[in-house]
Amino acid sequence: MSENIKNKEEMITKLFEAGAHFAYSKSRRHPSVSPYIFGVKDNVEIFDLEKTVVLLDSAKEFVAQLAKEEKQILFVGGKHESVGIIKSIGESLDMPYVAGRWIGGTLTNFSEVRSRVNKLNDLSDKKEKGLLGGYTKKERLLIDRDIEKLEKKFGGLDTMKKLPSAMFVIDSSREDIAVAEALLLGIPVISISGSDCNIEEIKYPIVANDVSIASLTFVSNQIKEAYLSGKEEAKNA
């Protein structure tokens, strides 16, 4: 057995163990995902994991290349199952992330978003250095609330000084506004997409279960490792 075949079979096994093969019912399937469905079990469609591996490999190659060129990826995931994963990967790679509700205009009105991030940094810095002593107790309370709101909305975007070179999203259907903004600006999208997602305009779709935390964690970590690998390769070149 060749090394490539062995590696592919191992990846299929790991995806299977993570539950990545579970899609939704046929009634929820988007036509664009039809070529990636293997069959049905207990009224739930099953992804063809051999095809998922091909898509994942393609996405990983793209991500590794971005890393070699020191390009930035914006990580996005707002639903409950993805918030912790997105935040963890963004912080571990020192990349911008939105782990929560997408704020419309984050990309298409980037200058305004950047100004909000700068305000957050300014207020946080003043508080940390004890420069709010001249304010009343009520004013300091209002500033604390302002910091909390800004942190929740824009805290993960501090490292994004300019538009990213790519976007990674969990559940491209749920994050349709983020995807639409990226497409409008010509930013390629990498996504973990369930069977209810339209993947026609996604540059690097990875069709897999997009609800299971195990599935999302495994696939997302593959993307993270691809970036780290590309970065290491560039460093040793």
Output the pTM of the full model. 0.93
Same domain, 172 and 143: no
Q: Is 44 helix (H, G, I), strand (E, B) or coil?
A: strand
How many domains are contained in the chain? 2
CA distance 145 to 139: 10
CA distance 234 to 228: 10
The boundaries of the domain holding residue 149 are 110-157
- Quick check: 103 and 113 in contact, CB under 8 A? yes
Same domain, 145 and 114: yes
Q: Is 189 helix (H, G, I), strand (E, B) or coil?
A: strand
Q: Is 71 exposed, middle or buried (0-12, 13-18, 19+ CB in 10 A)?
A: middle
Same domain, 13 and 56: yes
pLDDT one digit per residue (tens) for the chain, 237 residues: 577 788 889 999 999 999 999 999 999 999 999 999 999 988 999 999 999 999 999 999 999 999 999 999 999 999 999 999 999 999 999 999 999 999 999 999 999 999 999 998 888 888 887 777 777 788 888 888 988 888 989 999 999 999 999 999 999 999 999 999 999 999 999 999 999 999 999 999 999 999 999 999 999 999 999 999 999 999 887
CA neighbor of 118 nearest in space, from 161, 87, 152 = 161
Q: Residue 145 belongs to a domain with what CATH number?
A: 1.10.287
pLDDT at 1: 55
Same domain, 119 and 82: no
CA distance 49 to 36: 8
Same domain, 70 and 10: yes
141's tokens:
């309370």
Same domain, 34 and 138: no
Asked which of 157, 191, 225 is the last residue of a domain, the reply is: 157
Same domain, 83 and 186: yes
Same domain, 170 and 80: yes
Same domain, 137 and 205: no
Q: Residue 13 belongs to a domain with what CATH number?
A: 3.40.50.10490
Residue holding tokens 């390009």?
71
Same domain, 179 and 141: no
pLDDT at 200: 95
Same domain, 35 and 150: no
pLDDT at 38: 95
Asked which of 157, 188, 218 is the last residue of a domain, the reply is: 157
pLDDT at 60: 98
Diameter over CA atoms, the chain: 73
Asked which of 95, 124, 157 is the last residue of a domain, the reply is: 157
Which residues, in sequence order, are CB contacts of 204 under 8 Å at separation 6+? 55, 58, 59, 62, 188, 189, 190, 191
Same domain, 130 and 184: no
CA distance 154 to 109: 13
